[in-house]
Structures are given as structure tokens and as C-alpha cells.
Structure 1
Amino acid sequence: MYRAILPEGQIQCERYEREDEGLELYDEDDEFLAFVPYANLHALANEELYRSDERSIM
């Protein structure tokens, strides 16, 4: 599971695909969730980051 960190919030997704202009995000049923342009993407974090360490990653 991944989290796309955006200026407005976060989007959780199961997988993503890199495109020339941004990321396409998909849920666990392989349904399209969103297209995020690289200009709006602050970070793409693996969920393991949130579980493995007590320190803030923000």
C-alpha cells in the first residue's frame, strides 16, 4: 500500500504507474483512483514507513 502526499492531503493506493507527466493511482481492485501530476506530488510513501518507525516523516 502506498500514500501519495499532495498539498491538499493524501491518497492511499495499492499500486501506481509512472507516466511522463505524473502517476496513475489504482486501488486493491485495480480500479483507477486518480492521476497526480508530478508538479502536485510532494512524495509517494510506502505504508511500511508509517509502521516501522515512530519518528515523523513529515
Structure 2
Amino acid sequence: MFRAILPEGQVVCERYDRTDDGLELYNADDEFVAFVPYENLHALLDDDVYSENERSIM
């Protein structure tokens, strides 16, 4: 599972594809969830390194 961190919040996805202009995000059923332009993307985190119980650095 991945989290795309945006200025407005975050989008959770199972997988992503890189394009020339941004990331295409997909859920566990391989359905398209969102397109995120690189200029709006603050970070893409693997859920293994993200835990809501830990202190946020944002």
C-alpha cells in the first residue's frame, strides 16, 4: 500500500504507474483511483514506513 502526499491531503493506493506528467494511482482491484501531477506531489510513501502512531514530521 502507498500514500501519495498532496498539499490538500493524501490518497491511498495499492499500486502506481509513472507517466511523463505524474502518477496514476490504482486500488487493490486494479481500478484507477487518481492522477497526481508531479508538481502537486509532495511525497509517495510506502505504508511500511508510515504509521499514524509515530510523530509526524509534516
Distance 1:8 1:22 in 2: 17
TM value normalised by structure 2: 0.89
CA RMSD of aligned residues (A): 1.4
Matched, 1:43 2:43: yes
Which stretches of structure 1, 4 residues or more, deviate above 4 A after TM superposition?
none
Letter of the 2:6 counterpart: L
Question: Shift in Å at residue 56 of structure 1?
Answer: 3.0
Gaps of 5+ in 1: none
The SS at the match of 2:20 is coil
Corresponding pairs, count: 57
TM value normalised by structure 1: 0.89
User: Per the alignment, do residues 7 and 36 of structure 1 end up closer, same or farther by CA in structure 2, a change over 3 Å counting?
Assistant: same
